[in-house]
Amino acid sequence: MGREARHAGGDVGRVTFPPGFLWGATSSAVAIEGATRDDGREESIWDRFAQTPGAIRGGDTPKHACNSYRRFSEDVDLLRQMGMSSYRFSIAWPRVLPKGSGPENAAALDAYSRLVDLLLDADIRPFPTLYAWDLPQLLEQRGGWPLRDTAGRFADYADVVARGIGDRVGDWVLFDEPFVFTTAGYALGTHAPGRRDLDAFLRATHTVNLAQAEAFRAIRATRPDARIGSAHRLSPCEPAGDAEGDAAAAERWHAFANLWFVEPALAGRYPEAFPSGAPLERMGVRDGDLALLEVPLDFIGASVDARTFVERATDDSFGIGARPTRRASSRDRTDAGWEIWPRALRDAIHDLDQRYESPVIEVTSNGCAYADVPDETGHVHDPRRIDYHRGYLEALAEAIDAGAAVRSYHVGSLLDGFEWADGYTLRRGLAHVDFPTGARTLKESGHFMTRVAAENGFET
């Protein structure tokens, strides 16, 4: 299907996408649901982390967010208004299994069931993510992701959700950006649960890979026809300079940052990121584990923002002999400080396509954060966001034209919401949210994506 995308040449042309291509938006429970104590929901690691002084800009918390748990019908109306054909939302583990394990919460499952029905009634594909960073706090207190037992708890949770809504859901994302939440949460301490422990981080990565495989098998046992994958933050790696060892360091960092949670599932091994081999003992790897990790994922989810420059380092804390560095660039950046580099999306997809023999790829999130401000009429004019998506969609079309089997593009995100450590200071949504009232208003970028979805492309 990818070969049908085309970019007409010349100064004025058109970018088009294959018939049946899915246009969507994404969200996460922590970012938009609010209602953090409703219907028996228990505390997540982000609820607890947000109470740490200085952890979140402005002292913000996800307590109210967009109140989407009570207003998800309005979110579906926005998707319908834009003509979206897919909605990637996340399910809150602390709602479904408030204690992390044990009896399921019927009220929460009923709410997600009603959301699925509304999406199907609107001819929108429900595309749930089982884990978008909201580990139940009780499981963190027992050891969190570094504890091997958490993998089994996640598989149990996956089974509960699959039994609850799997009769109407065909496509599932197991994990959202596992490299980000393990690194920021357990190595760097900048995200929940705020730990800085390299051994805990290494064990967490292995537990998550075990959990990915166990949850895949749990869902497939309950729903044999389910299509299952995970979503990964990918960033093509380039040498920071011409110094000896920079190129090899970039390759190692690529294996670590981009493939650490892909290679185990698709090949039953950890990629060659560490000069002396993966530290399996420190990771808690047992005999026979590598065979357990391998599962035939049906697609790879990709979220790509920019490239990463890497230099050789003899003292990096991870022991990889590589360190990402921010090289000076004249390129534009978002208000979050991220370089805008559309070619990164093309290059990351090309790498997946070549490395794993043309897998199905879903662009599970792509977006940009700005400090959007409504005008006096309440509308948000956000031409930078429109330019951003134009550039990345042109790059995506090039990847499809080269043969990559990409079937969707999800804008991150549908709504402005709680932006993790940035709180509510930055906005990523296609729709502006007035947080005191919860009112949703499509931005100009939302109207742009409406036209893109209707035309399955756009003029350049």
**The pLDDT of residue 11 is above 50:** no
How far is residue 142's CA from residue 150's CA, in Å, rounded to a whole number? 9
Q: What total number of domains does the chain contain?
A: 1
pLDDT value, residue 2: 37
Tell me which amino acid residue 393 is.
L
Question: Domain range spanning residue 73?
Answer: 2-455
How far is residue 228's CA from residue 231's CA, in Å, rounded to a whole number? 10
**The pLDDT of residue 1 is above 70:** no
The mean predicted confidence, pLDDT, of the chain is 95
What is the percent of the chain where pLDDT is above 70?
97
Of the given ranges (103-107, 374-378, 398-402), which has the lowest mean pLDDT? 374-378
pLDDT value, residue 243: 87
**The pLDDT of residue 8 is above 80:** no
Residue 326 lies in a domain: yes
Of the given ranges (166-180, 221-235, 327-341, 380-394), which has the lowest mean pLDDT? 327-341
CB burial of residue 292 (10 Å; 0-12, 13-18, 19+) = middle
**The pLDDT of residue 12 is above 80:** no
pLDDT value, residue 189: 98
Residue 460 lies in a domain: no
Residues 6+ apart with CB under 8 A from 265: 209, 212, 213, 216, 230, 293, 294, 295, 297
Token pair recorded at residue 160: 């509960």
Whole-model pTM above 0.85?
A: yes
Handedness of CA 272, 262, 138, 65 (dihedral sign): positive
How far is residue 66's CA from residue 377's CA, in Å, rounded to a whole number? 21
Task: Give me the mean pLDDT over the 277-288 stretch.
Answer: 98
Q: What is the pLDDT of residues 130-153, one digit of tens each?
A: 999 999 999 999 999 999 999 999
Task: Give me the mean pLDDT over the 252-263 stretch.
Answer: 98
Is the bond preceding residue 413 a cis peptide, omega within 30 degrees?
yes
Going across the sheet that includes 14-16, the strands are 6-7, 14-16, 457-459
pLDDT value, residue 326: 75
CATH number at residue 122: 3.20.20.80
Residue 172 lies in a domain: yes
Residue with the bigger pLDDT between 242 and 239: it is 239
Residue 189 lies in a domain: yes
Query: Nearest 5°: CA angle at 138, between 135 and 142?
Result: 100
Of the given ranges (9-18, 316-325, 376-385, 423-432), which has the lowest mean pLDDT? 9-18
